[in-house]
Structure formats: C-alpha cells, structure tokens
Amino acid sequence: MALLLRLALSFAIIATTATTVQAAPGDPITPGATRVDATFSNLGMTWTVSGDTNLNSTMTMRFRVKGTSTWRDAADAVRAYPTIIVQGS
C-alpha cells in the first residue's frame, strides 16, 4: 500500500508539472487544485480550473515510472461540466 501511495504522489507531481492547457486567445484558464484518487490498479486525477467560458480547453497528461526516463501518454482526459445537468444523472 505504501508503494501505491508513493506512486500516486509521484503521479500527482508529474501530472501537475507535465500538463498543458490550451484555450482560445482572450479566454485564459486559471489552474486550481489537483486531487489524485488511487485504487489498487489505477490512479484518477481531478484538476479544477476556472476561466474557459467557451469550454474549448484541452488537457494532455504524460507520466513515467519513478526512476525511469521514458515518458508515456496517459489516457485521454474526460472533462466534467458541473454546471451542465443531464436529466437522470
């Protein structure tokens, strides 16, 4: 379990520093808090941002195993829209 927590912390630090956000000119994004949720086999990351009123920003994450030099692409990010409510959700 300690290994998983160290991996989660390493992933959070790497993901935060290796993440790029792009938005249209004149619609800046302000990065907020990050949160990493660990299971036995996966890590999930939540990153709060403000700005991007036209909702066109994208995010790319890369990671590497601690002690290695090879960076790999993480799974595609899925954006949640907390102000958009879908009936039945």
| pLDDT in single tens digits along all 89 residues of the chain | 555 556 555 555 555 554 555 555 667 888 888 888 888 888 888 888 888 888 788 888 888 888 999 999 988 888 777 666 666 65
Residue 61 maps to a domain:
yes
Residue 59 maps to a domain:
yes
For residues 87 and 46, what is the distance between their CA atoms, to the nearest angstrom? 23
Q: Tell me what pLDDT residue 71 has.
A: 94
Give residue 24's domain range.
2-73
Tell me the three state secondary structure of residue 10. helix
Residue 78 maps to a domain:
no
Residue 43 maps to a domain:
yes
Q: Tell me what pLDDT residue 42 has.
A: 82
Q: Tell me what pLDDT residue 72 has.
A: 93
| Dihedral Cα 12, 50, 59, 54, nearest 10 deg | 170
Counting the structural domains of the chain, the total is: 1
For residues 55 and 68, what is the distance between their CA atoms, to the nearest angstrom? 35
Residue 80 maps to a domain:
no
Residue 85 maps to a domain:
no
Distant-in-sequence, close-in-space partners of 81: CB < 8 Å, separation ≥ 6:
55
